[in-house]
Amino acid sequence: MFKTQSQVTRLFSLQDGVGFGRVNISLLFKGVCLELPPSLHGWETGTVEVLSDIRATGLDSSFASKPLVLRTTDDVEKLPRSAASLDGTDIVWALGKGENEERRLPVYHRFASALVFDIGGNNPDAVAILWLQDIVDNEVREVCLDIMKGKHLQQLSQCYISEYTKTSYALFISLPLSSYKFGSQTPLRSCGPVAI
C-alpha cells in the first residue's frame, strides 16, 4: 500500500460479514525517530560471563552448605557446595581454583532470557535473577541483586522483577553479585569491574 506514497485514502468494499456497502479509510505512515537505551542495542545471541566469585549477604549460615546453580534458558553451570564458604557474615561461592576462572553461559534469545542464581541446587531455597535485557553488550559490570525466598521459585524466576514487585513482597535480601559481562564474541580481559 505504501510503495509510492506515505498516505492512502481509498474506498474498501465490505465483504464476508453481516453488513454490506463500502467504507472510506485513510491510512498515514509517519516515520518517527526512536532512540533505544544502550541495553537494547545489543545482539540477540551471545555469552554471559560471570567473572568473579559470588558473594551473598544477609543469608543465614545454613546456606553456606548449599550448592549454587547459574542458569539461563540455554545452559546450566553448577557450583558445588564445596565451593561455598563463610566470610564473616557473607557467603562466598568460588568460581574456580585460579584467579582467572570464569563461568560462561550461552544465550540464544537474550531479550527474553535471564541469568538465574539458584541457591540450593535444582530445587532452590532462594533465587536471584538478572534479566539480560537490562545489561549492555561488552561492558563489565558489578551488580547487586535481590535474593528471593518463598514458594514456587521456579515459576517466580520466569517473571520480570520490577520495582513494584519489590515493594509488594517482603521476600528480598541483598545479593552483591560478582562481575558479569554479556558479549557477542569471546571478550578480552577487562581491567576491572565497573560499579553500577
Which helix (DSSP H) or strand (DSSP E) does residue 163 occupy? helix 163-168
Q: The whole model's pTM is what? A: 0.70
d(CA 60, CA 22) in angstroms, rounded, equals: 71
The answer to whether the CB of 69 falls within 8 A of the CB of 129 is no
Contacts with 151 (C-beta within 8 Å, 6 or more apart), sequence order: none
What is the model's pLDDT at position 110? 87
What is the model's pLDDT at position 95? 83
d(CA 110, CA 106) in angstroms, rounded, equals: 9
d(CA 134, CA 120) in angstroms, rounded, equals: 25
**Residues constituting the chain:** 196
What is the model's pLDDT at position 169? 56
Contacts with 89 (C-beta within 8 Å, 6 or more apart), sequence order: 57
Rg, Å, the chain Cα set = 24
What is the model's pLDDT at position 92? 87
Tens of pLDDT along the chain (196 residues) come to 777 888 888 888 887 767 778 888 998 888 888 888 888 888 888 888 888 888 888 788 888 888 999 999 889 988 888 888 888 888 888 887 655 577 888 888 888 899 999 888 778 888 888 888 888 888 888 888 888 877 777 777 888 877 776 666 545 555 444 455 555 433 322 223 333 2
Q: In DSSP terms, which residues pair with 196 in a beta bridge?
A: none
What domains, with CATH codes, occur in the chain? 39-184 (2.60.40.150)
- Residue 195: all three cell numbers together: 560499579
107: nearest Cα among 99, 115, 117, 96: 115
